[in-house]
Every structure is written in C-alpha cells, then in structure tokens.
Structure 1
Amino acid sequence: MKNTRAPVLSLLLLTLIKAAVSNGSPASEPLDLNGNYGPDTPIVTISPPNQVYFVGADITMSCSAQSSPPAVYQWAFNSVFYNGSGSELSIKLLQLDNAGNYTCMAYNNITRRYAAFTQELSVVAPITTVTVSPSRAQPIENKTFSLSCEVSGTADSWRWLKDDQPLSTNERITLSGENSTVSFNPVLQSDNGTYQCVASDPISGMVSPGYTLVVNYGPQQVSISGPDAYPIGSTASFTCSALSHPPCEYTWLFNGKEIAQGSVFTISPVMPASVGSYTCEAFNSVTGKKTSSIRKEFQLTTHVSQPTVRSNVTDPVEFNDTVSLTCTAYGSAVFYRWLNGSSVVSDSERIRLSDDNKTLTIPRVLRSDDGTLYCYAFNAASNSTSEPFHLVVNYGPDAPVVIISPPNQVYFVGVDLTMSCSAQSYPPAIYQWAFNGIYLKELASELSITQLSLDNAGNYTCMAYNNITRRYAAFTQELSVVAPITTVAVSPSRAQPIENKTFSLSCEVSGTADSWRWLKDDQPLSTNERITLSGESSTVSFNPVLQSDNGTYQCVASDPISGMISPGYTLVVNNPNGSASLASGHAVEVAIAVLVLLLCVSG
C-alpha cells in the first residue's frame, strides 16, 4: 500500500512557509524536509511466473516494499533465514527439496519497522511413466484382486478407465490410496476388460498402457456330448466340454476307472464290453478346481424304421383348433427332430415340443402355420425321415371387399356396371348378394347390372360363407344413381308480384338434383328474416316482396357429378297504388319531357 504521510507533511510545511512570506515576515534559509516511512507489506514476484515448477528449472524471486529510506531485505525458507541480504533470491536447478514457503522481510533502520510476506513455491517432478500393477498374476473368480497405479514422477490425482470409459465403482469395486488403487472384492467374469490409470500433476497428466484383466474361472457345466448308443462294430466318439479359463484338462473314467486323457474319447470298435457308465473329469490348473460330468450310460443300438406322422385334427380351423402331430418310429434309443421344409423346428411361443420331441403341438392354429412338416428319427445306428405332412389350416372368410367397375361415386341412369366381391378364405368362400336386405338369386362373386335406373339405387350386401369353418362375413356397398340434369327453370308463385305481399320463386329441374343455390344479378343471393330459403334451398320466399328486390334471378341446380344454371328471371315488383306504381325509370323520362316543354315555352 502506498504511504501518503510524507506528501501530506510536505504540503503542510509548504503552506506555513507561504503564509509567513505573505505576512511580510522575513524568509528563512531553505529547509530540505523528507519524511521517513515504511516499509509497507512487501510484494514478491517469481520469474518466470508459474503456479508450479518442474524439477531442474531456474527461478528468481524479487521482493519490493514502499519505504523511505529504502528497506533492507532478508529471506527465509520454511522459517530458516538465509545468510546475507538482498531484494532478489535466485535458485538454480530446482529440486523437490526446494518446494516450501519463502518469506521476504523488509526492514527500515530509521523507522525501526519491518514487514514480511510469505510466498509458497510448488515443485514437482514431471510424470515420465504410468503403469498398472496387479496384486496377483492370475486373478481367480470369487477371490479378492486389486490393481495399483505406479507412477514415476509426482502425481496428486488418479482416475481409472475400463474399456476407455470412466470406471464405475460400487460396494464390490472400491478405490483407495487417493484413488491410486482399485480393489475387486471379489473379482468376477463381468470385470473382464482393459484397465488404464490416468495420473496427473497440476500441469499435466499421463495415461498408462492398458492392462487386460481376464478372470480365471471354472471348470463349470461339465458335459459329455455324443449318442447314447452305437451298433456293434462301429466307432463311437464322445466329447467332453466345460466352461473354463484357461481351458481345462480332461480325464475319462469308465465304470469309475481312469481310461484316457483329452477332451475327445473314441471307442473303436464298439463291442458288448463297451457298454457301461462313462464319466469325464475337468481340471483347471490355475483355479485348482476339479469338476466331474454327469455319468453317461452307453448302450448298443438297432436300426430305426421310417417314422409316421399322425394328426389329432382332420380339418383344423384357424383360432379354434389345437393341432398335435405325433411321430412314431421303431428301433433302440430313438431320437426325434421336426423339420419345416429344411429348417429345424424348435420350441417357441407358437410351437411346443414334448420332452422326447415325439409330439409337436400348435395351440389355436393360424393360417401362417400352413406348411410341410417332416419327422426325422435317428439313433447311433441309422436315421430315417417321414413322408411329408401337409398342414392345411382352414380360415376365413375375412371382411369382404367390394369393387365397382367402372369406379365412380355416383352413376347416371342408363350405364352398365359390375360389382365384384372378394374375401380371404380357405377353402374359397361361397358368395351371395342382397339388395336393400332382400336376397338375390345369384350365388357368385360378381353382380352385373345393365341399363341402370333410379330403382337400382340402394344398399348392396355381399355375404361370404366358408362351409368348413362355418363362418360368414358381409359388407354393404351403397350405390347412388341419378338422372342427368337436362333443364333448370325459375317459376314464380304468381305472374304479377305486388309490393308488400308474399312472393316466391321455385327452381324446377328435369333430372336429379341434390343441391340448389340462387343468384341475383350474377351474385350469390343474400338472405335475411324477410328473404328465406326452403325445400333444401330450391325455393326462395319474399315476405313481403319489395321494389328493392327487383333484379334478375337464376337458380343453380347440381348433382354429385355436374350442375346447370337456369335462364334469368327478371323480377319487377308492381306498386298496388296504380299511377304511383310508375317505375323510377319512367318517372325520369316524364320529368325530362316536362323540363323540355317548359324550356320551349320560355323560349
């Protein structure tokens, strides 16, 4: 902080001197006045400036403080004074031992005061290598295991990655030693992966090479594969397998006595003496565990006959019947397999197989279950396939679809058309038609009508029936028939419309119209409480009619296909007061004639 006392004292003395001179007092000899102050709190700067310094760097610490006379400086490191004094302290080739607190003390030998400031210096060794070290060379499932992060250099934080993603910890996977060690208690196969440690100092960080964790386990699920029986004189082969890492060693026992080593055991030739109980033992040299398979009983076999397939239902109906197919073959130790075409059939939501695979069941069959099935029977001696069994599912009819040809929404009187009906069904459905609820004689999928008349308009229903499923479905199609509009005319309710009396105009149409609208002087007619429409807008009524209603009226009549506009009807409303009924146009003509006559007389 800047010391302001010396300038203030100087200013005060200068003011007093000026006042004395201005009062006429004789001036003294000049006096050199300098105030002594400080030192203020020192400021320490380090060059080059950094928050943390690497081992081997050179630095200079500079200390300064506001002081008069200038302060004397002395340095201390971790409270131990250096010999000598000076405002700068230089350190060459920094070492880790140089890290600590540096205190600069400033002293004024006139004011007898001192001030101090302490600067912390952080020194780190650069990280040169980071490696992951396992607690044991061979991690074993369900035992404790840990990985440690070993760093050459100075690190103050650690974090772990698994397969390039941040490692997730839990009650089983924990971190310790400021996160430099990850422990698995116990380690599991799910922990397999590539682990890396990221070690950091305040300036930089380094990632270790990957350590691939492969957990050793097993042997588990030891089993023997191979037929249960072979014919005499053949070669029998058995394979022993187990879930294990590393791969385990296998030992074969026959009736409890060790007979061979290795995963595959072969009997050649098969003799009556080969019949008995075979067991496989699996041993993992890393986990130290030994596990035995279930005993496999070996027998001699006879050849398989051609299998036959029987169904419990003759004509299965979709959604109704559950189909069970049973395969039968003769021979010893026979196994069964079902094929759909060339694909093997297995248990699913739609298909259920019995424990011995002899019976295939399809609950509530669907049309998609149609297909050709085979039963394949086999044993160690031979195999055989049944004749194809064709599963045909009867279904439908689904909702019929009716198509009219030619396609239109509305048909004119006199045209020919054909209605076609179809429905998904097996066997094919039988069709019958009804018109407005009355059955027609035709039993066919098509219904043809020639020279349509207005009487043919109505609802046509197609009914589809399946004589196996005993089901039917129906669809109703509406047929609209119209007579083409040939003329449209406007007819008044009276020949002479009289003002303030009721009056109406009707739209008369030759043909079939389903909508009407009115024009007055080529513009849509505006209605109100006095001018109203009725009869589906085919009549416009004036109640009462006024001279303001004068104009040309037209009716536009339309059917769903086309429309026609009537010739114009000119409405001229008559005034019931005789001479007062003179039309406005005639009144103008009379006024002009009178004006001309007066001008002639005056002339």
Structure 2
Amino acid sequence: PWQELLVLTLNCHYLTTAPKPVISLHPPWTTFFQGEIVTLTCNTFRFYAPEKIKLYRWYFEEEIQTETPGNTHEVHETGKYKCQAQDSPPSDAVHLFFSSANLILQAPLYVFEKESAVLRCRAKADTVLNAVTLYKHGEILAVDQQNSDFPILQADLKDNGEYRCIGLKKDNETISSNAVKIEVRELFPSPVLKASSTQPTEEDAVTLTCETQLSSQRPDVQLQFLFLRDDASEWSSWRQSPELQIFTIRRENSGSYWCEARTATPPLKKQSQKLQINVQSECQWILRLAKPVFEGKELVLICSVSGVPRPVTVSWYKERWWRKDTELGMSSRTEFKIPAVERSEAGEYYCVARKNHLSFRSKTVTIHVRVPVSRPVLTLSTPRTPTLEGQTVSLHCEAQRGSPPILYQFYREDVALESRSVPSKKASFRFSLTVEHSGNYFCKADNGLGAQRSNTVSLSVRGKCEPNYSTTRHRPSPASSSLPFTLPSFHDSKVHTDDPLNTMACLPFHTIHPLPYTHAAAPLTRPQHSTLPSSTPPTSSLIA
C-alpha cells in the first residue's frame, strides 16, 4: 500500500508543489543528556487534511525507522531524523545530539529574524554550579549566577555565531559545554514588485504583484501586503492578497510604485524596490470607410495619439508571424492610405508614434478584405412543361463571386417574395404555383457593398381546367332526351382533372357539347387510360 501511495505522491508533485512537513521538538532543544527522551511532531499544516492521513513514516539516518498512525514519535539517539506523511515529500532533517557531558548548552532548532530565543546552559542533576558564563566566538557575552537561561531578543544577523557556556563549580573547577552554532534565518525575503505591464495603454487593466516567500518552517505565520506610489499615497490598505488590480489605469497614474510585506508576530516589515510604470496614450486605428473593407476600395487608416504635442513621426507596420514585421511607411502625417485594397493586404496592422525618445505603439487591428458580390444569375426549375397550377417550382439565385454571408432577395414584378442570408454563394426559394404567380421574376444579392440585380425570368402558369375551345351549346335536360348510360358527376372527387378526357368535368354545364343520339348506336364505353396529349381538347368522338 505504501508503494502505491508513493506513486500517487510523485504524480501529484507535478500538478502542484506540495510543501514539506516540518518537525517540531518537545522540549524545543537540539541537545540533551543521554537517557532523556525527545518527542518529535510531524506537522503537515493546512495543505493536508489530517483526517485523511493514515500513516506517518519516520527516518533515522536516511533509513526508515518506524511507521506510526499518529504524527508523534519519541527518540533518544544522536543522529538525523526526518518524517513523511503518506501524501507528502519527506521533511528537512533535524539533527539531535544526546551528550554524556556534565554541562550542555541547549539552543532552539531554528532562530528567525525578529523572533526571541533562549540559550540554556544546563548541568547534570548531580553537578552544582556557582556561576555560568556565556561566550560568543570566545568572548564573554554574559555572566549569570542565578539563572542559566540567556535570552536573545528580536534576533537579527548580529546574533549569528558560535556560542558556548562555561560553568564554575563550588571548588572553582570549570567545566565547558558543547558549542552551538546560531544562524538567524530570514523569515521572508524582501518582496519584489511586479506588474502585468510596465508600459500599459490608457484604460488598460494592470495587476501589481508583491512577490515574496515565507519560510517553510513557519507556514502558519500570516503575511500582509501594502501597495504605495511615489507620492507615498497608499493604493490599498493592508491585505492578505499579494495582488492589486487596477481596473482602469490613467496617464496621471504614471510613476514609481513599491510594496511592503509584514508579519504581526513577530513584528517584521520589509519593502520592495521601486518599479516605474509609464502609462502610454492609446494609439488607435480609425477606419474612415465603413466596415467591412471591400476589395478594390480605398481604405484610410488614422493613427490618433492623444496627449502628445505635435509634431510626431508615425510609422506603419504589418505583422508577419513568420518573419520581421514589414514597415509600410513613415511620415509626419497620421494618415495612411491604401487606394485600392487587395485581398493579399488583409492582416494585422499597427502604428508607432514617436516623439523625441518616447514611442507609443497602437493596439493591433485586424483588417478583413471582403470580395464584393458579383451579379447573380436567376434560374427557374419546374417538374415539367407546360407550367400548371399546383406544381412546385424552385427559383435559384447564384453569385459566382462574393465573400459570405450573402443576403439574397427574390422578387416578382418588383414585389419582394423572400429574403435570406446564407454562408454560401447560392440560395433557393420553393413555392406552389397558382395562376396569379405568372409574371417576371428576378433576384438580388448583397454582402454589404450594395445589391446586385440578376437577369429577369418570365413565368406563365396555366390553370388545370382551362378550356381549349370556345363554342357553347345548352345541355339538354334529362326530360328531353333518353340516354342509354349515366353521365359522371362533375363533382366526383375520383375524377382526375389531369386526364384530358376529364377536362370537360372542370367546365360549367353550359360549355359541354352533346352530340345527337341515335338509339341504334351501340353505347360508348369510357376508356380507362387516355393516350391523348394534354393539349388536345375533348372531341365529339369521346362523348355520346
């Protein structure tokens, strides 16, 4: 199980930097008499959830000594100790010394700047001392006849060095302790102020970051940060976040900035170096022609610089990602003209305005060159001819050139029928015909520069029941003639008017032409399938 946990730890290490555990001592010294016991505590702090840690591993001289379910471990041997929680890297080593001497000098494991510490000169129980003298680098630092504790108040670099104590016994015999080396550690280095941009453009957002790193041996100490300007005005109150957001920076915000970091316990404050921030006037493109830009049309670009006295020198550039940007020109004029834009001139442009030793670069602007739409072609597709009422027809409007999207509009006799914007060069419109749809049709195509009109297509729609002859007779009443068969009902839904033989069924009664009836004639039978063309009118041979 431990090996599997180690693999997970290694994998997680690449995702985030896991802090090392820190060993604390009780009693808080690094030197003891032989036979004494010291309790080590493996502190994982806030990064690890204590309830999820099932196991702690303890190392002695780089080898695994034991594994415990809790985070404490008692030791009594001289050597180096480390600990490891199941999801953490190993801690830094702690060196403990168990002495057989009669006098020892005890010091804390770590001494940090501005912290108070105690050096304790301690004799064995059977050794009585009249006085104790503390030495630093061989020189007397303090003599105490009543107390063997020597305090170091608000430690700093001057307290670094090698310490030793000498005890005076009743018989005036002196005994010397072990040497202890004190190295006052930095709680955190002086902060460094960084900005997301030191030459931002007006109205840009800028982030200031006060960077420093608290010692891993003091992860529970809280840092606070303050941001200031060269006029000593505070840009923030003391805060726990090392970042300050300036959402909209102005020209008047140019100047020197610095930050401070502090701790409450111990009381320690440090200041960063100053950082110069120069806010640039925005240098921007203004397109004189309405967007979008069309091929073959003039384009005028204006580099406008506010707050900079004239004259200025303006350079124009086109970005090239594969090589150095191309300088298009330089002049005292703030205009740059492209008389007839070509498609190859699409891309990223910017300008640089220079005044003495100052320069102001504009934001990059993307120019898209669109191809104007060509005159479209209108075509009409029908399932068959002649074009009859009830059929479905399609109008197709197609422009051979033009950047999408293209707006297509369909017209009949200058009346708009349909409009739609499509991402292609062709649009269609389908509808079912009536006689009223006869007329002249055309379409228009427009992608922003102006509509182009197509050719005109004429459409003539015939009704299905349109008569093809003009003579008229009255139909004889049933009382005046006797027929050997029954005429079909002219309102019968089963009569198909597409059949030329049934054309008469669509006509009013007074347009049907009955022939004289002879009783000797054989009754006529209606054919099931007509082979006559649809344009052939009914003849007398088909009706009795």
TM-score (norm 1): 0.28
Rg (Cα) greater in structure = 1
* Higher normalized contact order (CA 8 Å, seq sep 6+, divided by chain length): 2
TM-score (norm 2): 0.31
